[in-house]
Chain A
Amino acid sequence: DAGITQSPRYKITETGRQVTLMCHQTWSHSYMFWYRQDLGHGLRLIYYSAAADITDKGEVPDGYVVSRSKTENFPLTLESATRSQTSVYFCASSTIDRGRDGELFFGEGSRLTVL
């Protein structure tokens, strides 16, 4: 199916474990983003990527690692999960490179609980 998909949708893990959240888009958008959303903080940008092998930090990158070996995939890894990383994570891709300004397409979110 075309679009942007995230997996897993729900994940429970323990403190100290490594967790990878996957994001896949079928539009060949150059730009991809990871946001987290917590009560009281709204959506905050973690990392973004302008193209394969190009990534950059957002507002709250500490504790996260990203990679982008293929245009369509943008995984987010928590190398050693902490309770403060309990959140809903949203992946997005953008049409910026198609001449349209700033329209982000979001996935359905991955709800992560760290015990």
Chain B
Amino acid sequence: DAKTTQPPSMDCAEGRAANLPCNHSTISGNEYVYWYRQIHSQGPQYIIHGLKNNETNEMASLIITEDRKSSTLILPHATLRDTAVYYCIVSGPGGGADGLTFGKGTHLIIQP
């Protein structure tokens, strides 16, 4: 059973903010939202995670709605190197202790 729903693909112009949505309507109170990305042929790369509050790091911002049923990953100034598949994952505390479940993700294409 899919815990998250993401659009299969999105386009964004280089230099603009890329906003990637994720629905997780069945998320439990102690489950975190994780975002990873996978650039072609490489291993997935951790981006950010959060529980309730919005989070920001050097790569991205994560906005979680108040009811926690959806979230948005924001890449503030997308570059061509941000073209990748982005995975939104919901998991319990100690999140990856028994492995994270990766869905199909969103293929983000940054257009020059």
Instruction: List chain A positions with a Cβ less than 8 A from chain B.
Output: 31, 33, 35, 42-43, 45, 48, 50, 56, 58-59, 88, 90, 92, 94, 96, 101-109
Contact = CB atoms under 8 A, between A and B. Distances in A.
Interface residues of B, number: 24
B44 A45 contact: no
Nearest to B51: A101
B46 A103 contact: yes
B99 A96 contact: no
Interface string B1-44: 00000000000000000000000000000001010100001111
Contacts of B101: 45, 59
A7 B41 CA distance: 15
10 contacts: A33-B96, A33-B99, A42-B105, A58-B98, A90-B44, A92-B43, A101-B93, A103-B46, A104-B44, A107-B43
- Most chain B CB neighbours (cut-off 10 Å) among A48, A50, A94, A107: A94
A90 B34 CA distance: 19
A106 B100 contact: no
B49 A103 contact: yes
B76 interface: no
A42 B104 contact: yes
A105 B49 CA distance: 14
Contact of B49 (A42, A56, A101): A101
Contact of A109 (B43, B49, B103): B43
A11 to B, nearest CB: 16
A107 B45 CA distance: 10
